[in-house]
Amino acid sequence: MSDAPSPEDRPSPPAPPPPPGHGGWTAPAWTPTETDPRPEPGTATEPGTAREPDPVAAEWAPTETKPPAPGRHGSALRSAVEWVAIVVAALVAALVIKAFVIQAFYIPSGSMEPTLKVGDRVLVNKLAYHAHPIHRGDIVVFKRPKLEGGAPTIKDLIKRVIGLPGETVESSQGQVVINGQVLHEPYLSTGTTTTGIERQTIPPGQYWVMGDNRSNSRDSRFFHAIPKSLVVGRAFVLVWPLSSLQFL
């Protein structure tokens, strides 16, 4: 038998000296493990294979921030602004309606009794005569004519239309006569008489107006017929007192 040593018994060759500048330390070789998230060099990650999350990346990942909920102060301020807007809109609407559509008028005298009494309130439609002509029997509000001669504090009057443009009007035997025919006036109190109208022709575009209380009314018998330009509108409903609520 030979005395030569077997390959297992032969001594390992000496390790090569470290390169200069490493101080004698050699970095251990990197060996991939099952728990190492890094892929082995030269290999690719299989599609669809999930990788373990990086704890450091998870710790610093940005989070979605929500705006702070409005506090009580913000809600109260918003409610106050909404109520102010509602009140302003209501006031503007009321002013527009009063100026151009409907206006309430107070009855200051008894010239329209028994139809309207002192203290009554009526609504006047200012658009009525833009849609249709003035009719006989309408109760109208109009600007006080210069010849009226009443209290200067009263700016508007309310009377009933008796004669229309181009008609002849007069009083005879206590009644109103239009174009030679006695005018039927069911709105007058029983026993009412009408006097003081001399026969005359109503000018074009003008109207003869009188109060229902003929003995206590300053009307066209004093200031003659009125032009349509003075007419404010038609009184169409009595709204006060509520017990007397009715259309006129």
> In this predicted model, which residue has the larger pLDDT, 130 or 43?
130
**Annotated catalytic, 75?**
no
> In this predicted model, which residue has the larger pLDDT, 86 or 230?
230
What pLDDT does 229 receive? 96
Helix (H) or strand (E) holding 171: strand 168-172
Contact (CB, 8 A) for 148 and 224: no
Domains along the sequence of the chain with CATH: 102-166+205-247 (2.10.109.10)
- Identify which of 209, 232, 227 has the alpha carbon closest to the alpha carbon of residue 126: 232
Please list, in sequence order, all residues whose beta carbon lies within 8 angstroms of the beta carbon of residue 197, skipping any fewer than 6 positions away.
Answer: 169, 170, 171, 176, 221
What pLDDT does 204 receive? 97
What's the length of the chain? 248
Rounded Cα distance, 121 and 24, in Å: 116
Which one from 12, 79, 98, 111 is the annotated catalytic residue? Answer: 111
Contact (CB, 8 A) for 212 and 235: no
**Annotated catalytic, 111?**
yes
1-25 mean pLDDT: 53
- Identify which of 239, 247, 20, 216 has the alpha carbon closest to the alpha carbon of residue 119: 239
What is the distance of C-alpha 202 from the center of its chain? 45
What pLDDT does 56 receive? 47
pTM of the model: 0.65
Query: pLDDT (tens digit, 9 = 90+) per residue, 176-205?
Result: 999 999 999 999 999 999 999 999 999 999
Q: Is the pLDDT of residue 50 over 90?
A: no
Which one from 12, 66, 126, 159 is the annotated catalytic residue? Answer: 159
- Identify which of 189, 235, 190, 191 has the alpha carbon closest to the alpha carbon of residue 209: 235
Residue type, 55: P
Contact (CB, 8 A) for 206 and 227: yes
Contact (CB, 8 A) for 158 and 112: yes
What pLDDT does 92 receive? 85
Helix (H) or strand (E) holding 122: strand 121-125
